[in-house]
Chains A and B, each alone.
Chain A
Amino acid sequence: MDRPECREEERPYELWLCSFPGMGNRQMTKLAELCGSAREAYYAGTDKWGQVLREKQVEGLKRFTEGWEPQREWERLENAGIRFVTLKDRAYPGRLRQIPDAPYGLFFRGSLPEERYPAVAVVGARDCSRYGYYVAEKLGETLGRNGVIVVSGMARGIDGISQRAALDAGGVSCGVLGCGVDICYPGENRELYQRLARDGCLVSSYPPGTPALARNFPPRNRIVSGLADAVVVVEAREKSGTLITVDMALEQGREVYAVPGRITDPLSEGCNRLIRQGAVPLSDPGELLSELCGSPRQGPDEPEEGCPAWLPEKLRALYDALEVTPKTVEEIRESLPAGFAESGGKLTADLMRLCLEDLAVQVSPGCFCGKFR
């Protein structure tokens, strides 16, 4: 690694190298090494480039370079509050550096995950079930409270839920994007996007302004598993993009955990198959913690378990009848012990009382699930 002041001069040219979309990570590294540095590569001209790149790429890079002013682009990046590291920087995440074909440069907002803290990637289906929602939330919360960094893709469903829970619990989370870090995709996660930029980290190997294209996501998944020590799959269908992350994780030598589900549930088919193939079934977030940290660590403000003691017996029975998966009012009535069954109106009133006490959630007009701590 070079001296800091030299590094500063190099940066605009490294940005140029990483901003050209038609080049692989290996080619970037090779070109920089061949020429001595990114800056020299910038001034080297087509002959030198041709030793590493194919003819078409050289053409593309030439055209790209004509409209590119390294200093101006660098200022623009700095003004946008986006930071940039390359494999040559000490700040480059160590875990990611070790993976095969590591990205040459990383764009980020916030602060990159620190090496001394363990990191876990929590990934899963976008259209998750209420069960997945609950597990992801619980997992994110436990990890966040115990100082484990939650790495994920900030997608809808499992990704966003676990990251939000980690931040809520006062933890750190890192969102890896398949577009430029200046773009919030998906749009509905805007709040999470802003929180990650402030309290966690947003990372992408794509230069700012890159739209969220489908082909950007498999390489993104590689960074998700690369930034983590272990990968937990919460919910995945038989054919799911999440399984790409798992393949990458295995290639990178990461431990893979899968949350088991019911064998009839299409949203758990992927997870159950992973377990069959040798993934570690994750039944308790505490186990994962002790694997990662040696001993189970309990945060200082672990909330108490169960429902409050003052709850009348009738409501307690009702609370016990609730589950993490949504149940219709009719199903709840059927599962109540004899003697507690009530007529329609009274039962819904009691359920609403539980909701007011924050012990239950009305997830849809006719369904409730319990809130467990």
Chain B
Amino acid sequence: MFSTIYAGALRGISAYLVSVEVDIAAGLPSFAMVGSLSCEVRESRERVCVALRNAGFALPPKRITVNLSPADRRKEGTAFDLAIGVGVLDSLGYFAGEAARDTLFLGELGLDGEIKKVRGVLPIVREAAARGIRQCIVPMENAAEGAAIPGVAVRGAREIRQVLDFLRAETDAEREKVMPRCEGREQTADDTAFEGEPDFSQVSGQETARRAAEIAAAGFHNLLMIGPPGAGKSMIAKRIPGILPLLGREEKLEVTAVASVAGLTGEEMPIVTRRPFQSPHHTVTQAAMTGGGSTPKPGVISLAHRGVLFLDELPEFRREVLDSLRQPLEERQVHISRSCGSVTYPSDFMLVCAMNPCPCGYYPDRERCRCGEPKVRKYLGRVSGPILDRIDLCVELRPVDVTSLRGGGGESSRQIRERVLGARKLQEQRFAGTGYRFNADIDAADLERFCPLGREERECLEQLYHARQLSARSYHRIWRVARTIADLEGAEHIRTEHLLEASFYRPVREYWG
């Protein structure tokens, strides 16, 4: 008997359908699996055999052949177990072959027949829906994640026995009873979305840095904070996700897809609803940062997609790690090439960095800092020019004095968020029908179209270009930041004061030597 069952596999964050073909024929008893399989897929044979036996199905002493097609792509992971098990049952005639038509099966089998969670459910279900699959049977733990995709029935299964009962059921009502369809929950209202997030009202003083954080959040600009230990750099960085606009529906799916591929989704968090905040330690390797491995896995920058990538102690990061951020920062995605093929992961993150001004941390306070000028230069120089060039906003923090600590903090995150949302609305209107989301995304070629300048403003920008010896890239960055500042104010046109304020946040050339 021969049967074909659908399963799915990942390629980067996209997926493709795999048909699991099972043939059972007379011959010497054997169980052979083919189709370019990695070792964990090969081991599937033992799991499936034992799981079926323990679930009460004895395998006959026949020749069983399993092929995973397309056979030329390398298959990895444990998600094929369920499809293979169902294929074997189908071939043995345990249920009518019709019942498994247009159905995709995903899941890892335990030896007792239990179905365990797998990676990448969301992208696979999405691909299945696009290819006309009507229903997907996935592990119970991943059901809510898959249910976020419209147009396909997603059912969560706990064990293989339950799947067989479902396939044997004769009426829809019975099917629904055995394995109910999982409904996608529309996620949380705005107020609870920020519950538990640290609040900006806990930050004392640091007006300039707060302002910069607000501008950064409103236009999704990259931010660098320089200051002595204890000035509140990390505090501010951790509060930025709390003032960013909520993730849109499409954004949620993008972020969840990456988390799903990385195996971070589960019953507790089927869909990512908050903007990611990734803060890797400075000893992080390049492969962990950009993604890597012999079959590439998403790196920290992809996990920070649509959220914040916070690099604390920026100069302590390895040079090659920092420089590997250059291309993703420009293109907002990262290409990883390996011998088995190349994949592309999204990496549209907001870069927030913090650093001390010198090795001891207290420069230019000459009473505490004895670092010589060359030492300070060398320390600052560890942040390469190309990275600095991609920073939109650079601010300096000074140690807070006791009086401002006593006085408590300033505005709350909610107040700031309201202004940010106002600026976000203006950007939505501006970019309606285009691929852009934030001012920071605008291509240099499109600046003229979306952010026109008056004559006086253009002159001011050109004057700034000469006076501050800007690169073409930073020239455009000032332009974009000025647009965000104008948006925060609700101004329709960019004015010179917006340009001037934007130029204040450019990394100072004299300072960086």
User: Which residues from chain A sit less than 8 Å from chain B, CB to CB?
Assistant: 126-127, 129-130, 156-157, 186, 188, 265-267, 326, 328-330, 333, 344-346, 348-353, 355-356, 361-367
Bound form: Cα–Cα A355–B464 in Å: 10
B497 x A329 contact (CB < 8 A):
no
Is B87 at the interface (CB under 8 A from chain A)? no
A345 x B510 contact (CB < 8 A):
no
Bound form: Cα–Cα A367–B397 in Å: 10
B396 x A330 contact (CB < 8 A):
no
Is B373 at the interface (CB under 8 A from chain A)? yes
B396 x A126 contact (CB < 8 A):
no
A333 surroundings in chain B (CB, below 8 A):
207
B372 x A126 contact (CB < 8 A):
yes
> Beta-carbon contacts of B363-376 to A below 8 Å, as 1s and 0s?
01011000011100
A156 x B373 contact (CB < 8 A):
yes
Pick from A265, A352, A364: contact of B364, CB below 8 A.
A364
B507 x A328 contact (CB < 8 A):
no
B496 surroundings in chain A (CB, below 8 A):
349
B464 surroundings in chain A (CB, below 8 A):
356
Chain B residue with Cβ nearest A125:
B366
A363 x B511 contact (CB < 8 A):
yes
What are 15 A-B interface contacts by the 8 Å CB criterion?
Answer: A127-B372, A127-B373, A267-B366, A326-B364, A329-B207, A330-B208, A333-B207, A345-B485, A348-B208, A348-B500, A350-B500, A351-B504, A356-B467, A362-B508, A364-B511
Given A127-B373, A365-B394, A365-B511, A349 and B367 touching (CB < 8 A)? no
B463 surroundings in chain A (CB, below 8 A):
356
Given A126-B373, A356-B463, A365 and B396 touching (CB < 8 A)? yes
B394 x A330 contact (CB < 8 A):
no
Which of B207, B394, B398, B504 has most chain A Cβ within 10 Å?
A: B504
A363 x B510 contact (CB < 8 A):
yes
B504 x A362 contact (CB < 8 A):
yes
Give the residues from 118 to 142 in chain B that come closer than 8 angstroms, CB to CB, to chain A. none
B211 x A366 contact (CB < 8 A):
no
Chain A residue with Cβ nearest B225:
A365
User: Which residues from chain B sit less than 8 Å from chain A, CB to CB?
Assistant: 205, 207-208, 211, 226, 357, 364, 366-367, 372-374, 394-398, 460, 463-464, 467, 485, 489, 496-498, 500-501, 503-505, 507-508, 510-511
Chain B residue with Cβ nearest A358:
B467
B467 x A365 contact (CB < 8 A):
no
B207 surroundings in chain A (CB, below 8 A):
329-330, 333, 344
Q: How far is the CB of B217 from chain A (nearest CB, A)?
A: 15
B372 surroundings in chain A (CB, below 8 A):
126-127
The 10 closest A-B pairs by CB, nearest first: A366-B396, A349-B500, A352-B500, A365-B396, A349-B497, A349-B501, A348-B504, A344-B211, A364-B511, A365-B394
Given A328-B398, A349-B500, A356-B463, A344 and B208 touching (CB < 8 A)? yes
Bound form: Cα–Cα A345–B397 in Å: 16
B511 surroundings in chain A (CB, below 8 A):
363-365
B504 x A349 contact (CB < 8 A):
yes
A355 surroundings in chain B (CB, below 8 A):
467
Chain A residue with Cβ nearest B509:
A362
A363 surroundings in chain B (CB, below 8 A):
508, 510-511
Chain A residue with Cβ nearest B463:
A356
Chain A residue with Cβ nearest B367:
A266
Pick from A330, A344, A365: contact of B508, CB below 8 A.
A365
Bound form: Cα–Cα A267–B500 in Å: 34
Bound form: Cα–Cα A188–B513 in Å: 10
A356 surroundings in chain B (CB, below 8 A):
460, 463-464, 467, 500
B366 surroundings in chain A (CB, below 8 A):
127, 129, 265-267
Bound form: Cα–Cα A291–B75 in Å: 90
B396 surroundings in chain A (CB, below 8 A):
328, 364-367
Bound form: Cα–Cα A367–B508 in Å: 10
Bound form: Cα–Cα A222–B49 in Å: 93
Q: How far is the CB of B377 from chain A (nearest CB, A)?
A: 8
Q: How far is the CB of A132 from chain B (nearest CB, A)?
A: 10
Given A126-B372, A365-B508, A366-B398, A329 and B501 touching (CB < 8 A)? no
Chain A residue with Cβ nearest B397:
A366
A352 x B501 contact (CB < 8 A):
yes
Bound form: Cα–Cα A232–B397 in Å: 35
B394 surroundings in chain A (CB, below 8 A):
365
Q: How far is the CB of B403 from chain A (nearest CB, A)?
A: 12
Given A127-B373, A156-B373, A329-B208, A366 and B503 touching (CB < 8 A)? no
Bound form: Cα–Cα A328–B395 in Å: 11
Pick from B374, B395, B467: contact of A366, CB below 8 A.
B395
Q: How far is the CB of B437 from chain A (nearest CB, A)?
A: 23
Bound form: Cα–Cα A351–B508 in Å: 14
A346 x B497 contact (CB < 8 A):
yes
B226 x A365 contact (CB < 8 A):
yes
Bound form: Cα–Cα A356–B499 in Å: 12
A352 x B503 contact (CB < 8 A):
yes
Chain B residue with Cβ nearest A186:
B374
A127 surroundings in chain B (CB, below 8 A):
366, 372-373
Chain A residue with Cβ nearest B215:
A345
Q: How far is the CB of A322 from chain B (nearest CB, A)?
A: 15
Given contacts A328-B398, A365-B511, 20 further A-B contacts (CB under 8 A): A127-B372, A127-B373, A157-B373, A186-B374, A266-B367, A330-B207, A345-B211, A345-B489, A348-B500, A352-B504, A356-B463, A356-B467, A364-B396, A365-B226, A365-B395, A365-B508, A366-B208, A366-B395, A366-B398, A367-B396
A362 surroundings in chain B (CB, below 8 A):
504, 508, 510
Chain B residue with Cβ nearest A361:
B510
Chain A residue with Cβ nearest B488:
A345
Bound form: Cα–Cα A127–B372 in Å: 6
Q: How far is the CB of A217 from chain B (nearest CB, A)?
A: 15
Q: How far is the CB of A179 from chain B (nearest CB, A)?
A: 17
A350 surroundings in chain B (CB, below 8 A):
497, 500
Chain A residue with Cβ nearest B370:
A127
Bound form: Cα–Cα A371–B505 in Å: 20
B367 surroundings in chain A (CB, below 8 A):
266
Q: How far is the CB of A191 from chain B (nearest CB, A)?
A: 14
Bound form: Cα–Cα A328–B209 in Å: 12
Bound form: Cα–Cα A67–B133 in Å: 91
Bound form: Cα–Cα A352–B205 in Å: 22
A367 surroundings in chain B (CB, below 8 A):
396
Q: How far is the CB of B389 from chain A (nearest CB, A)?
A: 15
Bound form: Cα–Cα A329–B364 in Å: 15
Q: How far is the CB of B150 from chain A (nearest CB, A)?
A: 43
Bound form: Cα–Cα A157–B501 in Å: 31
Chain A residue with Cβ nearest B368:
A266
Bound form: Cα–Cα A355–B506 in Å: 13
Chain A residue with Cβ nearest B226:
A365
Q: How far is the CB of A272 from chain B (nearest CB, A)?
A: 15
A361 surroundings in chain B (CB, below 8 A):
510
Q: How far is the CB of A296 from chain B (nearest CB, A)?
A: 33
Q: How far is the CB of B356 from chain A (nearest CB, A)?
A: 13
B498 surroundings in chain A (CB, below 8 A):
349
Bound form: Cα–Cα A295–B307 in Å: 68
